[in-house]
Structures are given as structure tokens and as C-alpha cells.
């Protein structure tokens, strides 16, 4: 049997992906980094045997190439994730099962192998994204640091730069435009069915939008290297034509673009700035994107450090190596930590605590004029994550506890991840000292009063991430009661090895009967994608065809004959066949199923279904009834397998 690789993922790409994300079994540093993120945490639970299994050619052939992976309910689990923006708002992010996350990354690796950047022909353009497939880097920090280095380097040579930003970038990426950009710039084109599947996977992972998934290198690669490629080239070509520009550089990190300019004559470049901004906005508009003019501006090179600081991700710990460590070693920072907590008291008390004032409190508490190039924010984060000895002081612990008891947990909303980690690191071995107990008590009080919000969930998640998801009440009483799908993700993928749940849902009976028939898996995946979008007519069209093909496969297995789909689509044939297996008459259900298909406007010109007010309920019930027939049949056959 010829197996159509309908995902387009080669074994080489699958293996590279597994090596990037499953190396936590041997790389302690990677495991420590992954443990900081909810999406990546499950990869810290696997064993070397698991890595060998998942990255093997056998696993690839049986599940990835054939599409059988999409017939497993464990893989298709999806939930909301709780990721904060720099301004304190929430991103519309999704949380994927570990194996679906790997599939998404493997698609990115495959496209990366085939894609040829247009911007590579222009030495004035450099683009970075979160991670790097070519260098097998799965985390964004090193790439952001490279982006910062390039900007600091050009600040020495170019007197001006334009900092730009896009409005709601990820949610405005258009799948049709993305597919055209891929097709027009790859060495080996994907087949039509692969193109459809790739877009369907992206759509599913993003819940109808371009997938914004925590630490998804694939999402960042597609959004940066592919979608903005021609945009950067067009903008560069425009800047070349400006008469007063001697030289320029475009340095991009995802949707953040820094345009460095060197004028031929001494001028403030206001005219050039307006021309470039207008042209960039026009180019973006043709791709469905919008320039955020409020966050776009012209600056001098001396402003670069300040702008990069505000662009940096919330959990980045800048790694300036020995410079930061030497600075930290020069003094005892406990006094600064207490100053920070006291300042929070004062700001909260007089109602002036905002995201901006919170940042000022950090800089005032930790920044020193004795050293250039290291911000107070960098020192603060390094203390929290790497120097907890400065936090394990009786006064620090008492002050943190008092802050929580007297001011409530809302102070922590300014930076939930960092402040929660700070509290936990006041206690060696994560024992529950008075500060930790106060934090938990505040959460449970809010839960009892039924006022838990998303910031509280972030705090609870950060606590669980830092303590190996071991707090039972936090999981059951707060996460489960307020975010059930998130609770299921934690239970299935963070509290145990995720292969356990995969094997539990990997129905051997289905696997044996389908026998690698990729078309069956393709039909089921398309049904699942459509039902997740609440496109019920489309979902039923796929499911009924899937049911008929499954019937033919069951017959082929039972009678030890080749697959013959032409014998099992008429109601009488189906009725007789199922009665011989499950011993009851399902003719009425099958007759209704056939008639329902013929009333579907996607299948028949009668289009009777569109006149019904309850067709959604009818379709859902029919899918459940047909699925019940399949399950009863498979149960009967199990004893003979």
C-alpha cells in the first residue's frame, strides 16, 4: 500500500524536531529551562527510552506519516494558555498536547528546509525569530540577545533608528497569504493535500487563528522568516531610493523592526521618517497587517538601550555572563530586596502602583550608577532566579508575608511569574514558610469568595511549575474548579509521562483494522478540525464518509479480504453487515444517516438542511449514534484480535 504523507513532514524533519525538544533527558540545562514553561514542562518528564521510541522510524511510519497520530484523543487535546504581554494584558494563546506541539514544530522544520528567503539577497536586512531551526535552538533567549547585539553594534555607526511595532500581529496573519508565500519560495513544493493539512493543523493549533503557542519556534519562524520576508525586501528597496539616506540596516525580531539610518547631510530626518513610516504602513496593509503608530517613532542611537529594555520578554534573564555576576558578588543584596518590598508597600498604599511605576521601583531598588549597561531589571531577575540566598532572610520573608496579608495578592499582578518565584525562593527546598503560606492563603481566600481571575491562575501555575505540580489543593480546588481544560492538561501531561496518556488512547483495535490506511486518518482529522470550529455541516460530511470507509475496513479485516469501499455505502448493505457483528438492527439509524447526508448542502443540491432550525443538534446526535455503532462493533471484534 502506498502511504500518502499528507502532513508533508519527512522523517529527517521529525527526527530533528525530536532531538530539539526531547534532549531534556540528557541536557540538564535544557531541562531546567523547559521546566519554566507550561507548554514545555511535559518534555521534562520523559525518559531516554521514550525519546528513542518517539524519534524512531517506526513511530514516524506508524503515526506521523500515516496520520494515525490524529486518531488519538490525547494528541488532539487543546486548552487556553495564560501568557502575559509586557503591558500586563493577556495574549490569546493556546496550550497544545506535547505530541501536537511536536507536530507543529516538525512542520516548521520541514518548511525551513525548503524555504529560500528573499531577504538573503540584501545584506542590509537581518531577521531573527524565537529559536533557530538551522542551529537546533528551541528557546528564544539566545536569538533575542543576538538581535540586541546587532542593534547595539549599529548604534555606534548609525545616528538614527526607527523603532516599529505591529498591531495584533499574530491574529492578523492570513492563512491564504501564508500558503502563497510558502508555495512561491520553496525548492520542493508541497502537494495539494499536504498544503491543506498544513493549514488545517495551523488553524487547529491556533483555534481558528494563526497559532500563538508558548515557545513555538515554528509559529515564530512562519510569522517572521516567511510572512514578513517580502515585506522587508520591499521596504529596503524603498529606503535605497531616498536621496538623503547614505546607508541603512533593517534588524528584525519577529514583528519588532528597527530601521537604522545614516543621512548624507546633517538633518533630523523627519521627512524621511514620515516617508518610511507611510511606505511601511502601505506595504503592511496589502498583507492584512497594521502598523502600530503609537509604538512607532524616530530615535537617536543613544536611545537604543531603553527601547530594547521595554521590548524584552517578561521572563528573559539577560545573560551578560561575568559582568552581571561580578556586579552581584560585590555586595549583599538583601537590603535592596527589602527596599524593593517597602517601595511596593508605599506605592500600593497611595494607589500609585502601575506597570510603569512597578518598573521604576525595580530600577530604583537595584540599579547602580557604578556600572553601565546593566539595568536594575536585569539584576532583579538574576537575584530571583539564580541568587536566592539574598531572599532567604528573615526580614525579607516577613516583609513579603506582610505585603500579601495587608495589601492582598493584587500587587503580584504587576509581574505574577517573577513575584511568585521570588516568594518561593525565600524558602530553601520550597518549604512552606510564612511568606509561602501567605501567598497560598490569599489564593484560597479568593477562590472561596469566587473571585479568582486569570492573574490568580497565572500565580497558581507559577507555583505549580516551581514545585513540580505537587500541590494537590491548588490543582483540584483552584485550577480544576476554574479552568477544567487546563487542569486536564496538567493531570495528563505534567503530573505523569505524556506517553502514558497517549498509549491509553491509542486504540489497538482501530490501529489493526485501519492497517495504515491514510485516507481514513485524513477523513477523521478533517472531521475533528471542522467540529472544533463548529462547522457542523462540513464535519458531518467528513464523518459520514469516515464511517463508511471504516465499515469497509472492518469488513476487509473480518473477511480477510482487500478493501472494497464500493460495497458498503448503501443502507441495506450496511444494516446487514452490522447485524452480523453486533446482533441488533441499526437499520433505522443508518437510513437516517444516509438521508441526512443527502440533505447536506455540501453534498446534495436539495439543500433541505438549511431550512431546519435544529440541524446542529441533529448532526451532533447522528455523529454520536454512528460513533456508538462503530465502538460496539470494535468491542465485539476485540476478542478476536
pLDDT of res. 611: 80
What does the mean pLDDT of the chain come to? Answer: 91
**Dihedral Cα 495, 498, 500, 506, nearest 10 deg:** 140
pLDDT (tens digit, 9 = 90+) per residue, 597-627? Answer: 888 888 878 788 888 888 889 899 999 999 9
Which residues in 558-571 are b (16+ Cβ under 10 Å) and which e? eeeeebeeeebbeb
Let me know whether 301 and 332 are in one domain.
no
The pTM (predicted TM-score) of the whole model is 0.93
Same domain, 259 and 353: no
Give the count of domains, the chain: 3
Q: Give start and end residues of each alpha helix (H) in 286-393.
A: 304-311, 322-329, 334-349, 355-366, 376-386
* 542: its cell numbers: 467528513
Q: Which of 467, 496, 525 is the last residue of a domain?
A: 467
Residues 218 and 348 both lie in one domain: no
Q: What is the pLDDT of residue 318?
A: 45
Mean pLDDT, rounded, for 539-555? 94
* Domain contains 501: no
End residue of a domain, out of 418, 441, 467: 467
Tell me the average pLDDT across 50-61: 97
With 50 as the cut, is the pLDDT of residue 291 above it? yes
Same-domain status, 281 and 348: no
Query: Do residues 372 and 448 both lie within one domain?
Result: yes
pLDDT at 308: 81
- Helices 229-240 and 270-285 meet at what angle, rounded to 10? 150
Indicate the pLDDT class of residue 567, thresholds 50, 70 and 90. confident
For the chain, the C-alpha Rg in angstroms (whole number) is: 28
Q: 249 and 123 share a domain?
A: yes
Q: How confident is the model at residue 311 (pLDDT cuts 50, 70, 90)?
A: low
Residue 487 included in any domain: no
For residues 547 and 196, what is the distance between their CA atoms, to the nearest angstrom? 22
CA distance 357 to 339: 15
- Mean of pLDDT values over 476-480: 97
| pLDDT confidence bin for 370, thresholds 50/70/90 | low
Name the CA dihedral angle for 592, 594, 597, 598, rounded to a multiple of 10 degrees: -100
- Domain check: are 169 and 284 in the same one? yes
pLDDT of res. 494:
97
Residue 104 has pLDDT above 60, yes or no: yes
Q: Is 528 in the same domain as 553? A: yes
- pLDDT for residue 336 is more than 70: yes
Domain membership flag for residue 604: yes
Over residues 325-346, the mean pLDDT reads 83
Tens-digit pLDDT profile for residues 239-254 = 999 999 999 999 999 9
> Are 529 and 630 in a shared domain?
yes
- 41 in a domain, yes or no? no
What are the respective helix, strand and coil percentages of the chain, to the nearest 5? 60, 5, 30
**Dist CA 479 CA 476 (whole Å):** 6
Among 333-337, 433-437, 575-579, the least confident range: 575-579
Q: Same domain for 327 and 243?
A: no
Residue numbers of the domain that contains 356: 322-467
Domain boundary among 272, 292, 314: 314
- Which has the minimum average pLDDT: 287-296, 344-353, 390-399? 344-353
Report if residue 11 sits inside a domain.
no
3-state secondary structure (DSSP) of residue 166: strand
CATH code assigned at 221: 3.30.70.270
pLDDT of residue 313: 46
Same domain, 358 and 268: no
pLDDT digits (tens, 9 = 90+) for 156-203: 999 999 999 999 999 999 999 999 999 999 999 999 999 999 999 999
Amino acid at each position: 500500500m502506498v502511504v500518502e504523507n499528507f502532513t508533508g513532514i519527512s522523517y529527517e524533519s521529525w527526527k530533528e524536531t525530536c532531538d530539539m525538544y526531547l534532549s531534556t533527558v540528557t541536557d540538564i540545562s535544557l531541562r531546567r529551562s523547559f521546566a519554566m514553561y507550561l507548554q514545555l514542562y511535559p518534555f521534562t518528564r520523559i525518559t531516554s527510552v521514550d525519546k528513542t521510541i518517539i524519534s524512531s522510524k517506526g513511530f514516524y511510519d506508524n503515526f506521523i506519516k500515516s496520520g494515525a497520530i490524529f486518531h488519538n484523543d490525547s494528541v488532539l487535546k487543546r486548552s487556553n494558555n495564560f501568557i502575559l504581554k509586557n503591558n500586563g494584558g493577556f495574549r490569546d494563546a493556546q496550550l497544545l498536547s506535547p505530541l501536537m506541539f511536536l507536530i507543529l514544530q516538525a512542520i516548521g522544520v520541514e518548511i525551513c528546509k525548503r524555504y529560500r528567503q528573499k531577504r538573503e539577497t540584501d545584506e542590509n536586512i537581518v531577521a531573527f525569530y524565537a529559536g533557530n531551526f538551522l542551529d537546533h535552538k528551541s528557546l528564544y533567549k539566545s536569538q533575542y540577545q543576538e538581535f540586541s547585539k546587532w542593534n547595539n553594534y549599529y548604534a555606534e555607526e548609525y545616528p538614527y533608528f526607527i523603532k516599529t511595532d505591529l498591531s495584533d500581529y499574530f491574529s492578523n496573519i492570513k492563512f491564504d497569504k501564508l500558503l502563497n508565500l510558502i508555495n512561491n519560495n520553496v525548492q520542493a513544493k508541497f502537494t495539494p493535500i499536504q498544503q491543506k493539512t498544513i493549514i488545517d493543523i495551523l488553524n487547529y493549533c491556533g483555534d481558528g487563528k494563526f497559532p500563538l503557542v508558548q515557545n513555538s519556534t515554528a509559529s515564530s519562524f512562519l510569522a517572521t522568516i516567511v510572512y514578513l520576508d517580502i515585506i522587508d525586501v520591499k521596504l529596503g528597496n524603498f529606503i535605497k531610493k531616498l536621496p538623503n539616506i547614505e546607508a541603512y540596516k533593517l534588524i528584525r525580531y519577529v514583528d519588532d523592526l528597527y530601521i537604522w539610518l545614516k543621512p548624507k547631510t546633517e538633518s533630523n530626518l523627519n521627512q524621511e521618517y514620515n516617508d518610511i513610516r507611510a511606505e511601511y504602513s502601505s506595504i503592511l496593509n496589502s498583507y492584512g497587517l497594521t502598523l502600530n503608530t503609537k509604538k512607532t517613532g524616530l530615535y537617536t542611537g543613544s536611545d537604543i538601550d531603553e527601547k530594547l529594555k521595554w521590548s524584552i520578554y517578561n521572563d528573559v534573564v539577560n545573560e551578560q555572563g561575568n559582568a552581571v555576576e561580578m556586579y552581584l558578588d560585590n555586595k549583599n543584596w538583601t537590603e535592596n530586596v527589602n527596599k524593593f518590598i517597602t517601595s511596593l508597600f508605599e506605592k500600593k498604599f497611595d494607589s500609585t502602583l502601575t506597570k510603569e511605576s512597578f518598573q521604576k521601583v525595580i530600577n530604583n531598588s537595584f540599579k547602580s550608577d557604578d556600572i553601565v549597561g546593566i539595568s536594575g531589571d536585569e539584576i532583579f531577575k538574576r537575584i530571583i532566579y539564580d541568587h536566592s540566598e539574598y531572599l532567604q532572610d528573615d526580614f525579607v520573608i516577613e516583609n513579603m508575608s506582610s505585603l500579601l496579608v495587608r495589601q492582598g495578592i493584587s500587587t503580584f499582578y504587576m509581574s505574577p511569574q517573577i513575584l511568585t518565584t521570588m516568594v518561593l525562593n525565600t524558602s530553601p527546598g520550597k518549604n512552606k514558610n510564612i511568606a509561602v503560606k501567605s501567598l497560598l492563603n490569599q489564593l484560597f481566600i479568593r477562590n472561596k469568595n469566587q473571585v479568582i481571575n486569570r492573574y490568580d491562575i497565572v500565580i497558581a501555575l507559577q507555583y505549580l511549575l516551581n514545585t513540580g505540580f505537587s500541590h494537590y489543593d491548588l490543582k483540584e480546588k483552584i485550577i480544576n474548579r476554574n479552568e477544567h481544560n487546563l487542569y486536564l492538561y496538567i493531570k495528563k501531561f505534567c503530573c505523569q509521562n505524556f506517553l502514558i496518556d497517549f498509549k491509553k488512547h491509542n486504540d489497538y483495535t482501530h490501529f489493526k483494522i485501519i492497517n495504515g490506511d491514510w485516507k481514513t486518518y485524513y477523513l477523521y482529522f478533517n472531521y475533528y478540525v471542522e467540529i472544533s470550529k463548529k462547522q457542523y455541516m462540513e464535519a458531518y460530511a467528513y464523518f459520514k464518509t469516515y464511517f463508511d470507509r471504516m465499515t469497509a475496513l472492518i469488513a476487509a479485516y473480518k473477511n480477510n479480504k482487500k478493501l472494497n469501499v464500493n460495497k458498503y455505502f448503501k443502507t441495506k448493505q450496511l444494516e446487514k453487515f452490522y447485524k452480523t457483528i453486533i446482533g441488533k438492527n441499526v437499520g433505522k439509524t443508518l437510513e437516517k444517516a444516509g438521508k441526512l447526508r443527502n440533505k447536506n448542502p455540501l453534498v446534495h443540491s436539495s439543500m433541505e438542511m438549511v431550512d431546519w432550525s435544529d440541524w446542529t443538534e441533529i448532526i451532533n446526535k447522528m455523529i454520536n449514534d454512528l460513533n456508538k455503532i462503530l465502538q460496539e462493533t470494535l468491542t465485539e471484534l476485540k476478542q478476536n484480535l
